[in-house]
Amino acid sequence: MEENKIFIIIDSNALIHRAYHALPPLKTKNGELINAVYGFLLVFLKAIKEFHPEYIAAAFDLKAPTFRHNHFKEYKAKRPKMPDEFYQQIPIIKDFLKAFNVPIFEKEGFEADDIIGTISDLLSKNEKDLEIIILTGDSDIFQLINKNTKVYAPKKGLKDTLLYDEEKIREKYNLTPDQLIDFKSLKGDASDNISGVKGIGEKTAIELIRKFKNLENLYKEIENETEESKEIKERIKEILIKNKEAAFFSKMLVEIRKDAPIDFKLENCQWKGYNKKNAEELLKNYEFFTLINKLP
C-alpha cells in the first residue's frame, strides 16, 4: 500500500519563540545573536529528515494588528515585549527558508495560525491522500488536528519532539481536538489575555464540554431547561448564564480561522529540493558548522 504524501506547514513565529527561549544566547564572532535561528533550523532539518515531505510551506505573523486586536485591543497585551534581538533573527530565518526553496505565507490582519488553519482545511477537504504535519511550539494549534492533520512539537526545549494526533489529544485533555476551542472559551487563556468565563476552572470546563459536546449545545440545553442541563450545579449554571457573551466572545478569539484570503496553490509548495552549495554557504556565514552535516 502506497504511503500518503506529506505536507509540512511551519508555524514559524511560534517555533522561533520556542527556540529563542529554549537555547542560551548563542552569538556569532561579530556578536550577532542567532540562538532562535539555530533552534529553528534544528527542528526544521530534523522534521525533513524524519518525514521526507513532498510539500513544504511556512506561515508568519506580521506586525500589523489582526482582526482579533480590532475586536479586542487587549488581545495578547499582557505578553512581555520581546527584545529587538529576537525580531532581528526573523529576516535571517526567512533567508534560510528561501535558500531551502520553502514558500512563505503571511497576510495582514491574520495570524500565522489562521493561515495554517486555512491551508490545512483546504488540503483536508480536497487532498484525501495527503498527510499534513504542522511544526509548531504552541499548543493553540492542537485544535486543527484531525484524521489528516498532525502536530509536530518540541516537548522540552527543542531536542524531544512529539507527534500529536487525535488519540494523543484525547489522552492529554480527555477531549477531541476541535473541543479544545470550546474548552478554552470557558476556561480562558491567560497567555493570550482571553478571559473565558470567570469562575469556571479547567476541571469544570472539561466536564461541561465532554457532556454537552460544544459551547452552542451547552447554552441551548441550559436555555431550553432540558433534563441534561438540570444536572449542572445551580451556581455553575448562574455563572454560565451571566457570562454567555464573554464565552462566545472568547470563542471568537480562540478559534483559528479557516478563511484567510491567501493565494494558495498546492503545486507551488512542492519541495523539489534546494541548492546544497548555497545552503552550506549560508550556514557557514552564521557559523552553523554542526548543521552542515544535518543537511538533507
> CB atoms < 10 A from the CB of 88, how many?
14
3-state secondary structure of 211: helix
Domain boundaries, the chain: 5-173+265-292, 179-254
| Cβ contact 40:15 at 8 Å | yes
Give the whole-angstrom CA distance, residue 101 versus residue 277: 13
Give the whole-angstrom CA distance, residue 18 versus residue 235: 39
Q: What is the pLDDT of residues 51-89, one digit of tens each?
A: 999 999 999 999 888 888 788 888 777 777 888 999 999
Q: How confident is the model at residue 45 (pLDDT cuts 50, 70, 90)?
A: very high
Backbone angles phi, psi at 58, to 5 degrees: -125, 135
User: pTM for this structure?
Assistant: 0.94
Q: Report the Cα 232 to chain-centroid distance in Å.
A: 33
String of DSSP letters for 163-210:
EE-HHHHHHHHSS-TTHHHHHHHHH-BGGGTB---TT--HHHHHHHHH
Q: What is the pLDDT of residues 99-113, one digit of tens each?
A: 999 999 999 999 999
In Å, how far are 20, 155, 184, 197, 204 from 201, measured between CA atoms?
A: 31, 24, 10, 9, 6
CATH topology of domain 179-254: DNA polymerase; domain 1 (1.10.150)
Q: Which of 81-85, 143-147, 156-160, 248-252 has the lowest mean pLDDT?
A: 156-160
Q: Among candidates 78, 143, 154, which has minimal Cα distance to 116?
A: 143
Q: Provide the grid cell at 35.
A: 540562538
Give the whole-angstrom CA distance, residue 127 versus residue 149: 12
Say which CATH architecture domain 5-173+265-292 belongs to. Answer: 3-Layer(aba) Sandwich (3.40)
| Cβ contact 68:111 at 8 Å | yes
Q: What is the pLDDT of residues 129-140, one digit of tens each?
A: 999 999 999 999
